């Protein structure tokens, strides 16, 4: 089965170069979406064709709107593996896109070996996703010298501290795992678990309250025993949650947030 790839570049010549370099990898079968002259057309094609891998030039995306990239990554219809191509001069854009969350970053001028490593890494992730049994959506995490086996629906939220994460589960207890949040996020299958900033994944179905003042942003989630646990959030995370919840309310025709 071929892997579907979409490339977003500023012109046809740049698009052809990236396509040529990807094809030169040679150990995978790829199916490419055609070149689109505008970002608007590219985004429309993304939602229509649902590629497995999206390779995008940061200059093009950043010049258009990084919110578009954020929606591409976090929308739940299809979760693509995103590889960003960026020049060292675009430091601000690089920082923003890393905070949003991507699967790979390749610096320009484009080096075939670096691009090949990124492609192989994300195709391995795709293969791993396809091989995971989805019944119950269980996930295995490294915890000290043992393994932690969790039903993904039991996770309330995950907080990152570099390469160590704290997982809070439905009874309010915490588990420390020796994995980065990006590694965990790539393997999550439950659509309710969403990464809302660079250091937090939260279970949307467990949220019962969003609020706070200018300085304190609070989210409360419901435990199995009926009690609630409070979680402080970043401004970015709270803004993203408000958008998600507001969209869900509009879809359901409700007049209340939760």
User: What is the reported pTM?
Assistant: 0.57
Whole-number pLDDT of residue 223:
87
Whole-number pLDDT of residue 258:
43
17 and 88, same domain (yes or no)? yes
110 and 194, same domain (yes or no)? no
Whole-number pLDDT of residue 207:
86
| Last residue in a domain, options 131, 148, 181 | 131
Report if residue 145 sits inside a domain: yes
Question: What share of residues in the chain are helix, strand, coil (percent, to 5)?
Answer: 40, 30, 30
55 and 165, same domain (yes or no)? no
15 and 77, same domain (yes or no)? yes
Report if residue 144 sits inside a domain: yes
| Residue ranges of the chain with per-residue pLDDT less than 50 | 76-77, 133-135, 249-250, 252-258
Asked whether the beta carbons of 65 and 186 are under 8 A apart, the reply is no
Report if residue 258 sits inside a domain: no
**CATH code of the domain in which 184 resides:** 2.40.50.1020
113 and 188, same domain (yes or no)? no
pLDDT in tens, 205-228: 888 887 766 566 788 888 888 888
Whole-number pLDDT of residue 74:
58
Report if residue 257 sits inside a domain: no
**CATH code of the domain in which 60 resides:** 3.40.50.2300
Whole-number pLDDT of residue 70:
66
What whole-number distance in Å separates Cα of residue 141 and Cα of residue 144?
10
11 and 100, same domain (yes or no)? yes
Whole-number pLDDT of residue 134:
44
Could you say which DSSP state residue 12 is in? H
| Last residue in a domain, options 101, 131, 161 | 131
Relative orientation angle of helices 66-74 and 91-100, to the nearest 10 degrees:
20
117 and 44, same domain (yes or no)? yes
Domain count, the chain: 2
Domain housing 239: 138-252
């Amino acid at each position: 089965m071929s892997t579907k790839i979409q490339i977003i570049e500023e012109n046809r010549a740049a698009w052809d170069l990236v396509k040529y370099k990807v094809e030169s990898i040679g150990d995978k079968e790829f199916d490419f979406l055609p070149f689109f002259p505008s970002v608007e057309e590219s985004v429309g094609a993304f939602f229509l064709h649902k590629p497995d891998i999206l390779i995008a030039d940061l200059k093009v995306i950043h010049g258009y709107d990084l919110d578009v990239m954020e929606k591409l990554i976090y929308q739940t219809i299809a979760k693509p593996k995103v590889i960003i191509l960026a020049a060292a001069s675009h430091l601000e854009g690089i920082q923003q896109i890393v905070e949003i969350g991507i699967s790979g970053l390749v610096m320009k001028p484009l080096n075939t070996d670096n691009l090949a490593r990124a492609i192989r890494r994300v195709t391995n992730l795709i293969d791993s996703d396809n091989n995971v049994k989805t019944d119950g959506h269980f996930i295995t995490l490294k915890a000290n010298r043992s393994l932690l086996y969790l039903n993904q629906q039991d996770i309330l939220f995950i907080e990152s501290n570099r390469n160590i994460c704290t997982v809070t589960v439905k009874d309010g207890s915490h588990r420390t795992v020796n994995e980065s949040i990006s590694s965990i996020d790539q393997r999550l299958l439950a659509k309710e678990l969403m990464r809302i900033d660079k250091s937090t994944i939260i279970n949307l179905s467990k949220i019962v309250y969003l609020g706070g003042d200018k300085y304190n942003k609070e989210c409360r989630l419901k435990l199995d025993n009926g009690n609630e646990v409070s979680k402080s959030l970043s401004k970015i995370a709270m803004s993203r949650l408000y958008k998600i919840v507001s969209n869900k309310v509009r879809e359901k025709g409700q007049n209340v947030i939760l």
